[in-house]
Chain A
Amino acid sequence: MEFEAVIGLETHVQLSTKSKIFCGCSTAFGAPPNANTCPVCLGMPGVLPVLNEDVLRRAVMVGLATGCRIAERTKFDRKNYFYPDLPKGYQISQYDMPIATGGAITITLADGAEKVIGLTRVHMEEDAGKLIHGENLGHPDSSYVDLNRAGVPLLEIVSEPDIRSAEEAKKYLEKLKAILEYLDVSDCNMEEGSLRCDANVSIRPKGQKEFGTRAEVKNMNSFRFLQRAIEFEIARQTQVVTEGGRVIQETRLYDSARDVTVSMRGKEEAHDYRYFPEPDLPLFTASQEYIAAVRASLPELPDDKRRRFERDYSLPRYDAEVLTASRAVADYFEEAAKGAANPKIISNWVMGDILRLVKERNTAPQSLPVTPAMLREMVTLMDEGVISGKIAKTVFEEMANTGKAPRAIVAEQGLTQITDTSSIEAEVDKIIAANPDQVASFKAGKDKVLGWFVGQVMRATKGKASPDVVNEILKQKLSA
């Protein structure tokens, strides 16, 4: 029997606001334990939450950018459970009246087709702190609580169960990340935990309408782990069903070291969170004017930018897709392509060497020694025939290592292409004279030998001769 996977993703995004969601404490990462705390986020007796307006604004931005309906009336609720990293004994979240509902994210599949993944909801909530276990501090019997993260604002973004493969899940999360980065609402750093993702995975016989029993998979802190965990989970469930068993509803943790998912807790151990409306935060209304103002402040989003790149720069869909996957890369490209005669050449360099450097150096394109202006100048030098494509590679590496401007590099290292025919002719004459056998075989009809002659001339001129000119002259002289 053939099975189909049904997958929905729940993504937690840490918002990069200056202060926490319900108090004025800093959200900065890496402060000493409990440095970023106050009576409110410590859950002291008598404290009250006050909503950070910047959190609401960012939530509305994400809702609008993903085509959600923004709730006219919304409220917060308490999610009650005991854990040492949860200072109040409840998390302030949104239960049945989230800020945004009913949006969608469009992904491009491997075959170029588009697929729309529905968004169920976007809601605001506070993060918990974290526990540091005493083994690492020489006190194996104790655990320590760090509440710096308690009260850091989160958005939970829940997809519809529209995803059918691990590949689609990865593309969905990549697209969501791109949108969040474009909006500049989060650092989206999966390793540091500012973008976290849980997957609800089930399988069903192909063609069946009803959903199978799902497992919730947690602890996937990279795109690769997300894909691997879902692939494992689909295979596991398929094996269970194929062998006549039944999938049980449970929470499973992905173990990246062993590349498996393992059971964490079953349905019967699930919490009863006793949600009820947060009495300390009254129901509130996001006015139409407010929503309109936030909408007006939205930047151009990935899909719009991609379409514009295809149109304005005559780029292939693939190029536009790669360039706009990151706002930083798209910005880099646009800056470099300013006034460029052939944006496709710029696109090739950005997709190739620039992205390679970004990856190698683990940095933003804007932080590379090669500025967009330098890249543009280098391409101009090629267009003007001052350097060849081959020399351009050398110039690029030099820029990347020293940050020197391309014209300066060309001048310093004497890399200017030799287009002066007389000096090339002299070299050609020397080589023809020294290689009568090769000349003979060319004359006998072995056209391939021409390539050998070109190589000899290029070597003699240290690559600086214009290959076009060399070809021209060689053909002339050999045929004479």
Chain B
Amino acid sequence: MSGLCALTIHELADKLDKGEVTSEQATRAYLNRIASLDKSINSYITVDAGGAMTQAREADSRRAKGERGPLLGVPLGIKDVLLAKGLRSTCGSKMLENFIAPYDAFVTGKLRAAGAVTLGKTNMDEFAMGSSTENSHFGSTKNPWDLTRIPGGSSGGSAAAVAADLCAGSLGSDTGGSIRQPASLCGVVGLKPTYGRVSRFGLVAFASSLDQVGPMTKDTRDAAILLNAIAGYDAADSTSANQPVPDYTQGLEDGVKGLRVGLPKEYFGAGMDDDTAAALRATVDMLKDAGALVSEVSLPNTRYAVPTYYVLAPAEASSNLARYDGVKYGFRSPDGGGLLEMYQRTRHDGFGAEVKRRIMLGTYVLSSGYYDAYYLKAQKVRTLIRGDFLAAFKQVDVLLSPTSPTPAFPLGEKVDDPLTMYLCDIMTLNVNLAGIPGISVPCGHSAGGLPIGAQFMGPFFSEGMLLRAARVIERASGAMARKPSL
């Protein structure tokens, strides 16, 4: 039944509708595949076989009663940064190694209501800090296309699980590219919605003003289906947008005829690998062939994205991660001592190196005497960066760039060089700083056979248009037809 696992969400739902397969069969097929393959990929931190089978049988009985739904009985993997009541939610950290979620995140609640089956919780960089999933307390995830390479990050577990057919689709989270960059490196579709489109309630916070939950799927239609399920207003998230949710599958096939596509020149400069540049040129041709109007535009403040992001995100993180103090839940150092010693030992032993680096960085930029020079200045630059996008969207409808400057790199290559690692997200950070949506869609492969992704960026709440543009590339490139050989 391994062919079952290769199905997209909409293909599987179709078979479930027709009674050709049950959710129980599909779920068992995934669990078997995980059991045989995930030892080498390590895409899951927690597999909930018992819970998944129970949910599958429930879904089957709902279907037997005539209920239908695009996710009813569909097995998914959820990034371990999202809480699912009763399941361990580690965030890839020793700090939460044994933390059982006491409540459902807004999005996991939505999936539960839609009847989706949760296979388990996928691997990630600790507290979503990283671009390679090497910063996980539970070991690196491997790229299914080449097990000696990283899958990208921080949602590397979700991306690898989708690429390796270890789930039908997945949810990730994206603070600076954490959905799009691993999607690109693993050859799947990844969508970062507009800030506020999806509730953050139950998403463990990294940088609150940048975090968004989004779908990671085998194709654009699946991304639309998952976004339909999780988007919408949530009174429990004060930053959630009270905007109607369209059906994102509507108009998916409408093409890009007459669509004005801008190529930000700052994204096509030095540092981009040749295969990626070639894949993007081919993508531009596909768009032109489909009737899009392509022109060059400028986002002049692009070069400030990395320093701006690495002031603001750590600042918020330093505060968001203060709650992991050993007092209430999670890891507490057993070495005793007084209160201060308990705090110090707990946070010293409970957090990994990258998390501690960012906490220190964030604490520094918020400190008295440095706040104006760093945090406040970065907020001002953030406004300029957003302004760049708003100005560009007066000239064009959508922007196109590579998602990542290079395909997947070897494990260990950058892990000891944080500054080089930070540059992995140079194409994606700006979208979070501006709060706009972005999507990564497979557009080709490198000479070595590694996937390459193209990124579309659009105005606030333009997810429908991004999916439509991505769909054109998906169809024209045929990149989805290639699968990693496992």
A→B interface (CB under 8 Å): 39, 42-51, 78, 80, 82, 84, 87-90, 145, 272, 274-276, 279-282
| CA gap between A374 and B101 in the complex, in Å | 61
Identify the closest chain A residue to B339 (Cβ).
A84
Contact among B91, B371, B375 for A45, CB-based, below 8 A: B91
Q: Is B209's CB under 8 angstroms from A51's CB?
A: no
What are 29 A-B contacts defined by CB distance under 8 Å?
Answer: A39-B102, A39-B103, A43-B323, A45-B96, A45-B99, A46-B83, A46-B200, A46-B201, A46-B203, A47-B202, A48-B238, A51-B238, A80-B322, A82-B322, A82-B325, A82-B343, A84-B325, A84-B327, A87-B323, A87-B327, A88-B323, A89-B323, A90-B322, A274-B371, A275-B366, A276-B316, A279-B207, A280-B208, A282-B239
Identify the closest chain B residue to A83 (Cβ).
B339
Q: Is A48's CB under 8 angstroms from B201's CB?
A: yes
Residues on A with C-beta less than 8 A from B237 are: 48, 50, 280
Q: Which B304-335 residues have C-beta < 8 A from chain A?
A: 315-316, 318-319, 321-323, 325, 327-329
Q: Is B178 an interface residue (CB 8 A)?
A: no
Q: Is B202's CB under 8 angstroms from A46's CB?
A: yes
Q: Is A80's CB under 8 angstroms from B366's CB?
A: yes
| CA gap between A272 and B327 in the complex, in Å | 22
Nearest Cβ distance between residue A82 and chain B, in whole angstroms?
6
B interface bracket (residues with beta carbon within 8 Å of A): 35 or more
Q: Is A89's CB under 8 angstroms from B363's CB?
A: no
Q: Answer whether A280 and B329 are a contact pair too, CB < 8 Å, given A43-B323, A80-B319, A89-B323.
A: no
Residues on A with C-beta less than 8 A from B375 are: 276
Residues on B with C-beta less than 8 A from A44 are: 102-103, 329
Residues on A with C-beta less than 8 A from B319 are: 78, 80, 89-90, 274, 276
10 closest pairs, A vs B, by CB? A89-B322, A279-B208, A274-B366, A279-B209, A45-B204, A46-B202, A43-B323, A272-B368, A46-B204, A84-B327
Q: Mark B334-350, 1 if CB is under 8 A from A, else 0.
A: 00000100010000000
Q: Is B29 an interface residue (CB 8 A)?
A: no
Q: Is B367 an interface residue (CB 8 A)?
A: yes
For A43, A46, A80, A145, the residue with the greatest tally of chain B CB atoms inside 10 Å of its CB is: A46
Q: Mark B67-110, 1 if CB is under 8 A from A, else 0.
A: 00000000000000011000001010000100100110100000
Identify the closest chain A residue to B91 (Cβ).
A45
Q: Is B245 an interface residue (CB 8 A)?
A: no
| CA gap between A50 and B316 in the complex, in Å | 18
Q: Is B205 an interface residue (CB 8 A)?
A: yes
Residues on B with C-beta less than 8 A from A49 are: 238
| CA gap between A43 and B326 in the complex, in Å | 12
Q: Is B83's CB under 8 angstroms from A45's CB?
A: yes
Residues on B with C-beta less than 8 A from A42 are: 328
Residues on B with C-beta less than 8 A from A50 are: 235-238
| CA gap between A471 and B103 in the complex, in Å | 85
Residues on A with C-beta less than 8 A from B318 are: 80, 274
Residues on A with C-beta less than 8 A from B91 are: 45
Q: Is B322's CB under 8 angstroms from A88's CB?
A: yes
Residues on A with C-beta less than 8 A from B82 are: 46
B→A interface (CB under 8 Å): 82-83, 89, 91, 96, 99, 102-103, 105, 200-205, 207-209, 235-239, 315-316, 318-319, 321-323, 325, 327-329, 339, 343, 363, 366-368, 371, 375
| CA gap between A43 and B320 in the complex, in Å | 10
| CA gap between A51 and B236 in the complex, in Å | 10
Identify the closest chain B residue to A88 (Cβ).
B323
Q: Is B238's CB under 8 angstroms from A280's CB?
A: yes
| CA gap between A249 and B386 in the complex, in Å | 44
**What is the predominant secondary structure among interface residues of chain A facing chain B?**
loop
| CA gap between A84 and B322 in the complex, in Å | 11
Q: Answer whether A274 and B239 are a contact pair too, CB < 8 Å, given A45-B91, A46-B202, A90-B319.
A: no
Identify the closest chain A residue to B96 (Cβ).
A45
| CA gap between A42 and B83 in the complex, in Å | 16
| CA gap between A45 and B322 in the complex, in Å | 11
Q: Is B102's CB under 8 angstroms from A48's CB?
A: no
Q: Is B328's CB under 8 angstroms from A274's CB?
A: no
Residues on B with C-beta less than 8 A from A43 are: 323, 328
Contact among A45, A80, A272, A279 for B89, CB-based, below 8 A: A45
| CA gap between A46 and B201 in the complex, in Å | 6
Contact among A272, A276, A282 for B315, CB-based, below 8 A: A276
Q: Is B238's CB under 8 angstroms from A145's CB?
A: no
Q: Given A39-B102, A46-B105, A50-B236, 13 other A-B contacts at CB below 8 A?
A: A46-B83, A48-B200, A48-B201, A48-B236, A50-B237, A80-B318, A80-B322, A84-B339, A89-B321, A272-B368, A274-B371, A276-B319, A279-B239
Contact among A39, A78, A281 for B238, CB-based, below 8 A: A281
Residues on A with C-beta less than 8 A from B203 are: 46
Q: Is B208's CB under 8 angstroms from A145's CB?
A: no
| CA gap between A310 and B40 in the complex, in Å | 88
Residues on B with C-beta less than 8 A from A276 are: 315-316, 319, 366, 371, 375
| CA gap between A145 and B368 in the complex, in Å | 30
Residues on A with C-beta less than 8 A from B363 are: 274
Nearest Cβ distance between residue A76 and chain B, in whole angstroms?
10
For A43, A274, A275, A282, the residue with the greatest tally of chain B CB atoms inside 10 Å of its CB is: A274
Nearest Cβ distance between residue B126 and chain A, in whole angstroms?
13
Nearest Cβ distance between residue B57 and chain A, in whole angstroms?
29
Identify the closest chain A residue to B316 (Cβ).
A279
Nearest Cβ distance between residue B128 and chain A, in whole angstroms?
12
Nearest Cβ distance between residue A51 and chain B, in whole angstroms?
7
Residues on B with C-beta less than 8 A from A272 are: 367-368
Residues on A with C-beta less than 8 A from B99 are: 45
Nearest Cβ distance between residue B386 and chain A, in whole angstroms?
15
Residues on B with C-beta less than 8 A from A78 are: 319
Identify the closest chain A residue to B103 (Cβ).
A39
| CA gap between A279 and B200 in the complex, in Å | 12
Residues on A with C-beta less than 8 A from B321 are: 89
Identify the closest chain A residue to B81 (Cβ).
A46
| CA gap between A281 and B238 in the complex, in Å | 6
Residues on A with C-beta less than 8 A from B201 are: 46-48
Identify the closest chain B residue to A141 (Cβ).
B336
Residues on A with C-beta less than 8 A from B367 are: 272, 274
| CA gap between A51 and B237 in the complex, in Å | 10
| CA gap between A439 and B307 in the complex, in Å | 110
| CA gap between A276 and B99 in the complex, in Å | 29
Residues on B with C-beta less than 8 A from A82 are: 322, 325, 343
Residues on A with C-beta less than 8 A from B323 are: 43, 45, 87-89
Identify the closest chain A residue to B315 (Cβ).
A276
| CA gap between A43 and B328 in the complex, in Å | 9
Nearest Cβ distance between residue B314 and chain A, in whole angstroms?
12
| CA gap between A27 and B199 in the complex, in Å | 27
Identify the closest chain B residue to A280 (Cβ).
B208
Nearest Cβ distance between residue B337 and chain A, in whole angstroms?
12
Identify the closest chain B residue to A43 (Cβ).
B323
For A42, A84, A89, the residue with the greatest tally of chain B CB atoms inside 10 Å of its CB is: A89
| CA gap between A462 and B102 in the complex, in Å | 76
Nearest Cβ distance between residue A399 and chain B, in whole angstroms?
53
Nearest Cβ distance between residue A146 and chain B, in whole angstroms?
12
Nearest Cβ distance between residue B333 and chain A, in whole angstroms?
15
Q: Is A280's CB under 8 angstroms from B239's CB?
A: yes
| CA gap between A90 and B322 in the complex, in Å | 7
Q: Answer whether A145 and B328 are a contact pair too, CB < 8 Å, given A45-B323, A84-B339.
A: yes
Nearest Cβ distance between residue B139 and chain A, in whole angstroms?
22
| CA gap between A139 and B291 in the complex, in Å | 76
Identify the closest chain A residue to B240 (Cβ).
A48
Residues on B with C-beta less than 8 A from A279 are: 207-209, 239, 316
Residues on B with C-beta less than 8 A from A51 are: 238
| CA gap between A276 and B319 in the complex, in Å | 9
Nearest Cβ distance between residue B207 and chain A, in whole angstroms?
8
Residues on A with C-beta less than 8 A from B207 are: 279
| CA gap between A43 and B367 in the complex, in Å | 23
| CA gap between A84 and B326 in the complex, in Å | 9
Identify the closest chain A residue to B105 (Cβ).
A46
Nearest Cβ distance between residue B197 and chain A, in whole angstroms?
15
